[in-house]
Structure 1
């Protein structure tokens, strides 16, 4: 994990272009640096390049040109196997629709990343228990996700994402499928995690979410950064 005393950015996207076929570039010479401990919200209309940027940082796609480095790893140079290892060890991902496995219990869902990484069962179970308690959902450990509210399911997804202690947490529209009360709970949770030192990359259309959680906001337009400003207050 990145040493927070290190001046090197946790995320370093340098002069990245991404082209799909003959159409306009999804990203056009984009450069972005994010330091450990920041909570960065990436905003922009549909087609602005938000999802492309997320996929490049997550190692799910490769740039046409330029470089992507996360926690000292040249993500754009990884093969498929190395990319999977990178995602297990260095990033946690939270999605709009939770992506939980309904045939597993809450505890079993949270344990999955540790099992894939080969963490000893006793240590993984202890870590999962700590996360469920921290996120206020330990009473649901033996339940299946379908019996939980949307906000509770998103907390399970966050616990799963944090299971392997990733330096970077990526949240892709984490409140998009939630009602206002559940969304507020997730906003509070992300703010608390960042206050504890977790670096967060938040991709969203939700200005309230960005305003309450982010220490910095970047707006993309046509694959370029149109605005990059620190938060005034949170």
Structure 2
């Protein structure tokens, strides 16, 4: 059995005086898994993603990712953790429109201290692998939504993170582009990339993951392995 990559133990997160966004959640994701986190609005999906990404801290419990106790990191440590161990893909791409595709993809490596030539080689390999090398010199605004999401995936994978977090990655795409991104996530997972997908889209979850975790009112209501 593969090694645990994400381990949450009795995690609770409460905001102000309301009910907990997460309540004593324990969850393990192993290397190489593709897991969909689903649930209605307000169920705790975004909170879970933010805790795993080191963008938020739990009020109780522990969050460990790739051997790092994420819940104990300060701001600088959390930034280093994200650069090294987590790639993130968002609904609205979060690309920098004044940079070219290549420059967007290179950016995480440069921030991590990678040399320019090495970073550009790695970016070129990713753009080729993802089928968008021809757009390296273009600006994101000239690309389709599906192409921009592929650029975002390339950027997320730039520093070879063990974990890819995808937050509603097809939410801003038409159905054809969304299917293309779903196929891409499936291909990445087949190549060994661990993927955690947060989505409202049950068809997307079914199509590109093999395990579904359903959150309801901040608790795990269902955790099942499913067939694609």
Q: Does the TM-score normalized on the shorter chain lie above 0.5?
A: yes
CA deviation digits over 1:88-127, x for unaligned, max 9?
0000000000000000000000000000001011111111
Segments of structure 2 that go 5 or more residues without pairing to the other structure are none
Does 1:160 pair with 2:155? yes
Matches within 5 A, 1:72-91: 72-91=67-86
SS of the equivalent of 2:4 reads coil
After alignment, is 16-25 or 164-173 more displaced? 16-25
TM-score w.r.t. length of structure 2: 0.99
CA deviation digits over 1:201-224, x for unaligned, max 9?
100001111001111000000000
RMSD: 0.8
Does 1:176 pair with 2:171? yes
**Aligned residues between the structures:** 228
Alignment equivalent of 1:69, drawn from 64, 74, 86: 64
SS of the equivalent of 1:14 reads strand
Does 1:226 pair with 2:226? no
Report how far residue 61 of structure 1 moved.
0.4
Distance in 2, matches of 1:176 and 1:8, equals: 31
Matches within 5 A, 1:9-20: 9-20=4-15
Distance in 1, matches of 2:126 and 2:175, equals: 24
Distance in 1, matches of 2:77 and 2:106, equals: 21
SS of the equivalent of 1:87 reads helix
TM-score w.r.t. length of structure 1: 0.96
CA deviation digits over 1:58-104, x for unaligned, max 9?
00000000000000000000000000000000000000000000000
SS of the equivalent of 1:10 reads strand
CA deviation digits over 1:154-202, x for unaligned, max 9?
0000000000000000000000000000000000000000000000010
